[in-house]
Amino acid sequence: PIIPRGGGALSRASFPARCGVAEMVPPVQVSPLIKFTRYSALLVGMLYGKTRYDYLKPVAEEERRIESEEKKKREELERIAKELAEASEDSILK
């Protein structure tokens, strides 16, 4: 027997044969209805995701197109403002 210093009594019988390793239990038979439901939900989710993606893709492309047009306009305005600022600085009448 193994006796710890604290004085408590422990024996080898109180530890599992393989410390920390659980015994394997045989797999449980899953109901065919549950299997069918799980795979059906998986397929429905995949179909929903595909249709939602196809719906949102053109919307996102349009938003990106509008954003790029706005960016071009903003850059053009910044360029014009910069040119005006430089022109006012280089005036003869300082």
Round to whole Å and give the CA distance between 93 and 2: 102
Instruction: Please state the rounded mean pLDDT for residues 43-57.
Output: 98
Token pair listed for 43: 């397929």
What average pLDDT does range 68-79 have in this prediction?
96
- pLDDT(11) > 60: no
**pLDDT over threshold 60, residue 91:** yes
Among 7-11, 45-49, 56-60, 66-70, name the one with the lowest average pLDDT. Answer: 7-11
Predicted confidence (pLDDT) at residue 26 exceeds the cutoff of 70: yes
CB contact at 8 A, 44 and 36: no
- In this predicted structure, what is the pLDDT of residue 47? 98
Total Cβ atoms within 10 A of residue 3: 10
- Single-letter amino acid, residue 51: T
